[in-house]
Copies of this chain bind each other. A is one copy, B any other.
Amino acid sequence: MTPDALEGALRRPFAEPANDRVLDAAREAFEDVGIQRTTMRDIARRAGLGRATVYRRYPDRDAVVAAVLMREVRVFLTWLDERIDHIEDPAEQIAECFVAVVTGLRGHSLLNRLLTLEPAAALPALTVDAGAVLAVARGYLAAKLREHQQAGRLRSFDPEPAAEVFVRLAHSMLLSPPGCIPADDDAWSRAFARTHLVPVVTG
Contacts and interface: CB of A to CB of B under 8 A. Distances in A.
A179 interface: yes
Contacts of A173: 168
A180 B197 contact: no
- How extensive is the interface on chain A, given as a class? 35 or more
A80 interface: no
A56 B192 CA distance: 44
Interface of A is mostly: helix
Interface stretch (A25-33, A37-45, A123-131): A123-131
Contact of A203 (B126, B162, B199): B199
Q: How many copies does the complex hold?
A: 2
Contact of A161 (B124, B134, B181): B181
A162 B196 CA distance: 7
A202 interface: yes
Interface in A112-152: 115-116, 119-121, 123-124, 126-128, 130-131, 134-135, 138
A198 interface: yes
Nearest to A127: B175
Contact of A192 (B119, B131, B161, B198): B161
A163 B168 CA distance: 14
Interface of A: 115-116, 119-121, 123-124, 126-128, 130-131, 134-135, 138, 157, 160-162, 164-165, 167-169, 171-173, 175-176, 178-181, 192, 195-203
27 contacts: A115-B127, A119-B123, A119-B124, A119-B128, A120-B120, A120-B123, A120-B124, A123-B123, A127-B175, A127-B176, A130-B176, A134-B172, A138-B179, A157-B196, A160-B180, A161-B180, A168-B169, A168-B171, A168-B172, A169-B172, A171-B175, A172-B172, A175-B175, A196-B203, A199-B202, A199-B203, A202-B203
